[in-house]
Amino acid sequence: MKNIRVARRYAQALMMTADSPKAIDQITADLDVIKSALNISRDLRRLITSPVVSAGKKFAVLREVFEKRIGTTTMSFIELLTEKQREGILPEVIEQYKALRDTKYGIINVDVSSAVEISSQQEQNLSEKLEHYTKKKVRVRFSLDTALRGGIVVKIGDTVLDSSVKRQLELLREQFIHGHVLN
């Protein structure tokens, strides 16, 4: 929890350096490059989290790996993290920066689980309805969940819209248990 708070502060500082939407997008692209490299290279992940390797050595390696692939603003930010010995929280900073960017642009993440594959036309229709429902741009992640038996489950932040057959059967069962008569 502490790392997330610290990562959020660093992400906010990085966001404040971006003075235009173009700069925000450039930093996002740079952070995607870094995240991809961290995901691919176990050695790089070990390097940034190692308490034995000096900050100077870490920055020299990070500069060698990223200097020609990312912008100067992002490279300066990596240098700041290294100087403050916070390079180990870089993955969390990246996630927090993306969350801040999404908030700034009015984008929310929505997870949709369905019992069967959804066609691209259905995905588009559902995305449009979710944008209308939330009054924000939505980034929808669709997944298949065969345990649902039928219907869909939509998760928007802490809100769950459950129209699955499984949930409808649970509601029906509760009505029978509590003696509610269906008309």
Q: Domains in the chain and their CATH numbers?
A: 2-103 (1.10.520.20), 107-177 (no CATH)
Rounded to whole angstroms, how far apart are CA atoms 13 and 97? 9
Q: In angstroms, rounded to a whole number, what is the distance separating the alpha carbons of residues 145 and 17?
A: 41
Give residues with Cβ within 8 angstroms of 146, minimum separation 6. 115
Name the band, by pLDDT with cuts 50, 70 and 90, for residue 65: very high
The residue with tokens 């449009």 is: 128
pLDDT class for 137, splitting at 50, 70, 90?
A: very high
Q: Check residue 2 and report its DSSP letter.
A: H
For 108-130, how does the pLDDT look when each residue is reduced to its tens digit (9 = 90+)? 999 999 888 889 999 999 999 99
- Segments in 21-71 forming alpha helices (H): 21-40, 42-49, 55-66
Return the H-helix or E-strand segment holding 81.
Answer: helix 72-83
Nearest residue to 69 (alpha-carbon basis) of 113, 108, 24, 37: 37
DSSP 179: T
How confident is the model over 29-44, as pLDDT tens digits? 999 999 999 999 999 9
pLDDT digits (tens, 9 = 90+) for 71-92: 999 999 999 999 999 999 999 9
Task: Band the pLDDT of 1: cuts 50, 70, 90.
Answer: low
Alpha-helical regions (H) of 116-164: 120-134
